[in-house]
A and B are shown apart, each in its own frame.
Chain A
Amino acid sequence: MEGNTLIINLKDISFSYAPDTPVLDKLSFHLHRGERIGLVGPNGSGKTTFFYLVMGLLRPSSGTIEVFGKQVQAEKDFRDVRKRIGLLFQDADDQLFSPTVLEDVAFGPLNLGKSPQEARDIAMATLTKLGLLGFEDRITYRLSGGEKRLVSLATVLAMDPEVLLLDEPTNGLDEDTEEKITDILKGLSLSCIFISHNLDFLSKTTDRIYAMANGKIFLDEALVPHSHIHTHKFGRLPHEHKS
Chain B
Amino acid sequence: MIEEQFASGESFVHHLDPRMKIITAFIYAVVVALSSGFPALLAALAVSLVLITLARLSMRKVLYRLVVVNGLILFLWIFLPFTYQGEAWFTLGPLHATREGIAFAIQITVKCNAILLALIALLATTPIVTLGHAMGRLRVPDILIQLFLFTYRYIHVIFQEYDRLRNAMKARGFVPRTNTHTYRSYAYLVGMLLVRSYDRAERIHKAMLCRGFRGKYHTLSQFSVTRGDVAYFMVMVSVILGMVLIQWKAIR
Contacts and interface: CB of A to CB of B under 8 A. Distances in A.
Interface of A: 52, 55, 57, 79, 82-83, 86-87, 89, 91, 93-95, 97-100, 102-103, 106-108, 110-112, 116, 119-120, 140-141, 155-156, 159
A97 B207 contact: yes
Contacts of B208: 97, 107
Q: What's the interface size class on B, roughly?
A: 20 to 34
Interface string B86-127: 000000000000000000000000000000000000000000
A116 B220 contact: yes
Interface stretch (B48-56, B211-219, B238-246): B211-219
B130 to A, nearest CB: 9
Contacts of B207: 87, 89, 94-95, 97
Interface of B: 1, 128-129, 132, 149-150, 152-154, 156-157, 200, 203-204, 206-214, 218-222
A156 B211 CA distance: 7
B157 A107 contact: no
B211 A140 contact: no
A116 B1 CA distance: 30
8 contacts: A55-B206, A107-B208, A107-B213, A116-B219, A116-B222, A119-B218, A141-B157, A159-B212
A50 to B, nearest CB: 14
A86 B207 CA distance: 10
A190 to B, nearest CB: 16
Given A94-B206, A110-B218, A116-B220, 7 more contacts: A93-B157, A94-B207, A95-B204, A97-B150, A103-B129, A110-B219, A110-B220
B153 A98 contact: yes
B62 to A, nearest CB: 23
Contacts of B1: 141
A55 B149 CA distance: 26
A227 to B, nearest CB: 36
Contacts of A100: 129
Given A91-B203, A95-B207, A111-B213, A140 B153 contact: yes
Contact of B206 (A57, A106, A119): A57
A155 B212 CA distance: 12
Given A86-B210, A111-B211, A141-B156, A102 B218 contact: no
Q: Which of A55, A79, A103 has the most CB of B within 10 A?
A: A103
A83 B210 CA distance: 8
A201 B203 CA distance: 26
Contacts of B132: 99
The 10 A-B residue pairs with the shortest CB-CB distance in the complex, in nearest-first order: A111-B212, A110-B218, A108-B211, A94-B203, A99-B129, A57-B206, A95-B207, A141-B156, A87-B210, A116-B220
A111 B210 contact: no
Contacts of A140: 153
Contacts of B157: 93, 141
A98 B219 CA distance: 10
A82 B206 contact: no
Most buried by A among B1, B210, B213, B220: B210
A207 B220 CA distance: 39
A89 B204 CA distance: 9
A111 B214 contact: yes
A97 B204 contact: yes
A30 B222 CA distance: 45
A106 B213 CA distance: 12
Given A106-B220, A141-B153, A141-B157, A99 B212 contact: no
B153 A89 contact: no
